[in-house]
C-alpha cells in the first residue's frame, strides 16, 4: 500500500505532489510518519513533504475526533454502556495508565492516531486535550520520520 501511495504521489505533476502526500497521510496506518517518507522518496522538498503529511494526518484525525465526540454525546445522553471488546479494553487500560499525553505520543506505535484519538474521546477524555496532544504527536512523528528519510536518502543518493 505504501508503495502504491508513493507511485500515486510521484505520478502527479510536481506542483501537486504535496497534495498526494496530504491524501496519503490522511489514510489510517500511513499517518504523518509514512506520509513524510513517501514525500521525501518521491523527491519533494523535505519541508514541504513533512508539512503536507502532517496536514493530512491532522485533518483526518480531527474528523475522527469530532465525529467520536458527537457520537459519544448522543450515546451518553441516557443510554447504558455495553461491554467493550478486548482490544478496546486494552486501549482503555493504556489510557488509564498513561493519560491523554502518553497515549497520544506512544499510541501511534500500536494504532493509527485517528483510531486512538476517537477511542480516547469515547472514553470521556477532553476533546480539546486529545486534539492538542494528537497534533503534537503527529508533528513529532512526521518530522522525525521525514528527517530520517531525508538523511537516509542523502546517504544513499
For 61-76, how does the pLDDT look when each residue is reduced to its tens digit (9 = 90+)? 999 999 999 888 877 6
* pLDDT tens-digit readout, 16-74: 999 999 999 999 999 999 999 999 999 999 999 999 999 999 999 999 999 999 888 87
- Asked if 112 and 31 touch (Cβ cutoff 8 Å), the reply is yes
Planar angle of CA 26, 65, 67, nearest 5 degrees: 100
- φ/ψ of residue 85, rounded to 5: -65, 160
Flag whether the pTM goes above 0.95: no
How does residue 141 score in pLDDT terms, banded at 50, 70 and 90? very high
Amino acid at each position: 500500500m505504501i508503495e502504491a501511495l508513493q507511485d500515486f504521489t510521484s505520478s502527479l505533476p510536481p506542483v501537486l505532489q504535496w497534495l498526494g502526500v496530504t491524501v496519503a497521510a490522511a489514510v489510517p496506518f500511513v499517518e504523518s510518519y509514512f506520509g513524510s517518507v513517501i514525500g521525501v522518496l518521491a523527491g519533494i522538498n523535505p519541508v514541504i513533504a513533512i508539512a503536507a503529511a502532517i496536514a493530512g494526518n491532522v485533518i483526518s484525525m480531527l474528523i475522527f475526533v469530532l465525529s467520536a465526540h458527537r457520537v459519544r454525546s448522543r450515546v451518553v445522553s441516557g443510554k447504558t454502556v455495553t461491554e467493550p471488546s478486548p482490544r478496546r479494553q486494552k486501549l482503555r487500560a493504556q489510557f488509564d495508565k498513561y493519560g491523554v499525553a502518553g497515549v497520544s505520543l506512544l499510541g501511534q506505535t500500536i494504532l493509527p492516531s485517528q483510531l486512538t484519538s476517537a477511542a480516547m474521546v469515547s472514553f470521556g477524555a477532553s476533546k480539546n486535550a486529545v486534539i492538542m496532544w494528537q497534533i503534537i504527536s503527529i508533528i513529532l512523528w512526521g518530522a522525525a520520520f521525514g528527517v530520517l528519510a531525508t538523511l537516509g536518502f542523502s546517504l544513499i543518493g
